[in-house]
Amino acid sequence: MRVKISVILLVLVIFVAACQGSAASKVTPTPTVDPGVQLTQTAAFQATQDQLATEQASQTVVAQQTADAQATLDAQATAQAQSTANAIATSTQRVLNSQATSTQVVVKRQTATAQANQQATAQAQPLYDLAEKLFAEGVISSSAGSYTPLKDFDNSWAQMNYYDYWPTDLYIEPFSRFILKADFRWDSGSDKANWDRSGCGFVFGWQENLHYLVYLALDGKVNLLRSRQGNLTWVAQQSYSGKLSIPRGQAQFVLAVDNAAINIYVNDELTAHANDILLKPGAIFTSMVSGTNKGFGTRCTMTNMGIWLLK
């Protein structure tokens, strides 16, 4: 009986001991951290944090640079836009100024043209009226024509008893029907000149080896001469009823030519008349005759000069 109990007790002791050994093997030991591993983990963590901080700082710098660049671009765009606006405004103002200047030029030209037309009309009217008068009197065959103003003439000639002539705007084309008008003013370098060989006038019907000279001598006579092959002959010589002033004076002179018919007027008076079948269409020149060699000789000034070209 005691043996059985002992056996049982022994078995119980063995079982209890086995249970205790099994429980002891299940106890989890307290973990111990390797200082080297812990340091490594701490440095890696710090490096990660530093990297994050660096990246954040880089992002901040990039963001600031981007903001600065955008601000610069915005400023440049604003400046460019302002410059473009200024350029457009300047260009527009230049266009407006140019248009205003062009308008002023056009107005000035129109004004000048109107004034020139008005002046030409005022100059042409006396010759038109004279053409109508001469036509009514039968002096010319028709009054229809056109007016051409001529430049003023002012010259002197100091070769006694000789004449000379100078080109006008009419020295190229030949003319056979016209009314030529001018206001003569004269002066003499001597108060004892040959007055019959001193005076102002025209050469007309000019052709090679043939032309006509007409002049108002200061003795009051109108002289009409023909030069043919260098030989001068008188065609007409008639006296003005008035008296001319010497050594200086003035008079209005008109030469009316209608083919062979030649009529000369002094101060609206028909002073000389001739018909010459040898007269042909020719050029027209201003002319003067000098009756003295003293000083400047004879001086002639012709103003308000114009011609009515008959059709």
For 140-179, letters b (16+ CB in 10 Å) and e give: beebebebbbbeebebbbbebeebebeebebeeeebebbb
For the cut 60, the answer to whether the pLDDT of residue 153 exceeds it is yes
For the cut 90, the answer to whether the pLDDT of residue 256 exceeds it is yes
Question: Residue 294 burial by CB count (10 A; 0-12/13-18/19+): exposed, middle or buried?
Answer: middle
Q: What is the mean pLDDT of residues 140-150?
A: 93
Instruction: Give the per-residue pLDDT at 71.
Output: 67
Confidence band (pLDDT; 50, 70, 90) for 57? low
CA distance 47 to 189: 122
For the cut 70, the answer to whether the pLDDT of residue 309 exceeds it is yes
| Amino acid occupying residue 111 | T
Instruction: Give the per-residue pLDDT at 39.
Output: 41
Instruction: Compute the mean pLDDT over every residue in the chain, rounded to the nearest whole number.
Output: 80
For the cut 70, the answer to whether the pLDDT of residue 280 exceeds it is yes
User: Using alpha carbons only, what angle is made at residue 74 by residues 68 and 79, rounded to the nearest 5 degrees?
Assistant: 125
For 88-110, letters b (16+ CB in 10 Å) and e give: eeeeeeeeeeeeeeeeeeeeeee
pLDDT in tens, 69-126: 566 666 665 666 676 667 666 766 776 676 766 666 666 666 666 665 666 677 789 8
CA distance 130 to 206: 25
Using alpha carbons only, how large is the chain's radius of gyration in Å?
61
The backbone torsions φ and ψ at residue 289, rounded to the nearest 5 degrees and listed phi first, read -120, 135
- Regarding pTM above 0.85, the answer is no
Confidence band (pLDDT; 50, 70, 90) for 249? very high
Instruction: Give the per-residue pLDDT at 286.
Output: 97
With a CB cutoff of 8 Å and minimum separation 6, the contacts of 229 are 209, 210
Instruction: Give the per-residue pLDDT at 13.
Output: 44
Lowest mean pLDDT among 51-60, 147-156, 204-213: 51-60
Confidence band (pLDDT; 50, 70, 90) for 281? very high
The residue count of the chain comes to 311
| CA neighbor of 254 nearest in space, from 139, 163, 158, 154 | 139
pLDDT in tens, 4-54: 445 455 545 445 444 444 444 344 444 443 443 344 344 444 555 566 555
Lowest mean pLDDT among 104-118, 223-237, 266-280, 284-298: 104-118
Of residues 270 and 39, more confidence is placed in 270
Instruction: Give the per-residue pLDDT at 53.
Output: 56
Confidence band (pLDDT; 50, 70, 90) for 183? very high
Instruction: Give the per-residue pLDDT at 305.
Output: 94
Question: How many C-beta atoms lie closer than 10 Å to residue 86's C-beta?
Answer: 10
Decide if 204 contacts 212 (C-beta within 8 A).
Answer: yes
Decide if 271 contacts 264 (C-beta within 8 A).
Answer: yes
Instruction: Give the per-residue pLDDT at 47.
Output: 56
With a CB cutoff of 8 Å and minimum separation 6, the contacts of 176 are 205, 257, 259, 279, 280, 281, 282
Instruction: Give the per-residue pLDDT at 97.
Output: 74
